[in-house]
């Protein structure tokens, strides 16, 4: 589908400036310079053509009482599909990919804080016949914020999430009312003039009360943002690569900030190392329109940081990609 420039402007606005109001699509329309009905019609068409995946709240799992980690399994090539099916069967697994590394299956798993990630990953490794595995939790978050620039301009209003936004475990308190709101707000909203109408009715509260709760969630760092998520391949960003970097420990902070400053980098994390087994400590995610474009970004990072020991892990197969469902 060839996107018109108006559609591209709408997609940028939906990703970065979704209005927290009773009639958000009117706000989008006024920003773009079109009617509310045209905005709604265009968004419906973008959903129909699988450009827009979902419009909903994007919560920070840690700040609402969950914990998550990246994990990597080393699995024989002839049983990767078998292993992936075992991993995918776990309700806490949201993303699962085959990548070009000896640790070839990479997935993220998210659980309520009272459950033990390590135990459940170990069980999955046994069931999937993995010969070895890595547990790679986030030690420091430099950046997370997937924002596909659809017009080629700068979307400077976009605020990405970083480690400073994390709460201490002892400060995380989620009320029953907040849990109920989280259950509703993680749903894909209906594309109509008042999309929060049904969600607020399900909760038995006014739309104004729900909107105030969204604003409170955002200010309290429980919600990263309310925004649309795109099918990145259909949106033109068909290539993604995980960059793994061996940074000297004393330069981690500097290098993490350099990497996260690049708009092409959507994620940047510090993760643990396993001496003589796995010594890459900074991870980046780059989404681009081609492999060549991603290589340019990776080489730019190497030049800016001085890191020569790095690798690019390509996603050669997508086994699973779903949204985490909280408090269901």
Show the DSSP H helices in 205-281 as ranges: 207-219, 252-260
Task: Answer yes or no: are the C-beta atoms of 52 and 14 closer than 8 Å.
Answer: yes
Joined together, the tokens standing for residue 76 give 């024989």
Kindly report each contact of residues 167-172 with a partner whose C-beta sits within 8 Å and lies 24 or more positions away, as own/partner: 167/62, 167/63, 167/221, 169/113, 172/62, 172/63, 172/64, 172/65, 172/113
Residues paired with 227 in a beta bridge: 56
At residue 225's C-alpha, the angle toward residues 223 and 227, to 5°, is: 135
b/e string for 125-161 if b means 16 or more Cβ within 10 A? beebebeebbbbebebbbbbbbbbbbeeeebeebebb
Cα 97 from Cα 108, distance rounded (Å): 9
Cα 321 from Cα 98, distance rounded (Å): 12
The whole-angstrom distance between residue 208's C-alpha and the CA centroid of its chain comes to 28
What count of Cα atoms within 13 Å lies in the side-chain half-sphere of residue 128? 32
Active-site amino acid positions: 95
């Amino acid at each position: 589908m060839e996107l018109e420039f108006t559609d591209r402007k709408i997609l940028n606005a939906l990703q970065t400036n979704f209005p927290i109001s009773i009639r958000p699509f009117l706000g989008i329309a006024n920003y773009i310079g079109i009617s509310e009905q045209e905005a709604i019609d265009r968004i419906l068409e973008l959903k129909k053509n699988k450009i827009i995946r979902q419009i909903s709240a994007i919560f920070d799992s840690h700040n609402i009482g969950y914990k998550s980690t990246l994990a990597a399994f080393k699995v024989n090539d002839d049983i990767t599909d078998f292993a992936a099916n075992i991993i995918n069967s776990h309700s806490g697994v949201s993303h699962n990919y085959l990548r070009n590394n000896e640790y070839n299956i990479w997935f993220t798993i998210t659980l309520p804080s009272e459950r033990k990630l390590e135990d459940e990953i170990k069980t999955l490794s046994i069931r999937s016949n993995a010969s070895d595995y890595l547990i790679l939790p986030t030690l420091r978050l430099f950046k997370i914020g997937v924002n596909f620039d659809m017009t080629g301009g700068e979307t400077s209003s976009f605020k990405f999430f970083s480690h400073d936004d994390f709460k201490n475990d002892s400060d995380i308190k989620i009320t029953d009312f907040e849990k109920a709101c989280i259950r509703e707000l993680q749903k894909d909203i209906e594309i109509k003039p008042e999309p929060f109408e049904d969600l607020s009715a399900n909760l038995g509260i006014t739309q104004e009360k729900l909107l105030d709760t969204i604003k409170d969630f955002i200010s309290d760092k429980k919600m990263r943002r309310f925004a649309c998520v795109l099918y990145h391949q259909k949106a033109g960003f068909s290539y993604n690569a995980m960059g793994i970097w061996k940074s000297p420990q004393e330069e981690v902070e500097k290098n993490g900030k350099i990497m996260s400053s690049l708009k092409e980098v959507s994620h940047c994390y510090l993760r643990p190392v396993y001496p003589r087994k796995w010594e890459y400590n900074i991870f980046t995610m780059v989404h681009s329109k081609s492999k060549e474009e991603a290589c340019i970004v990776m080489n730019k990072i190497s030049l800016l940081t001085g890191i020569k020991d790095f690798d690019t892990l390509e996603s050669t197969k997508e086994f699973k990609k779903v949204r985490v469902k909280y408090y269901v």
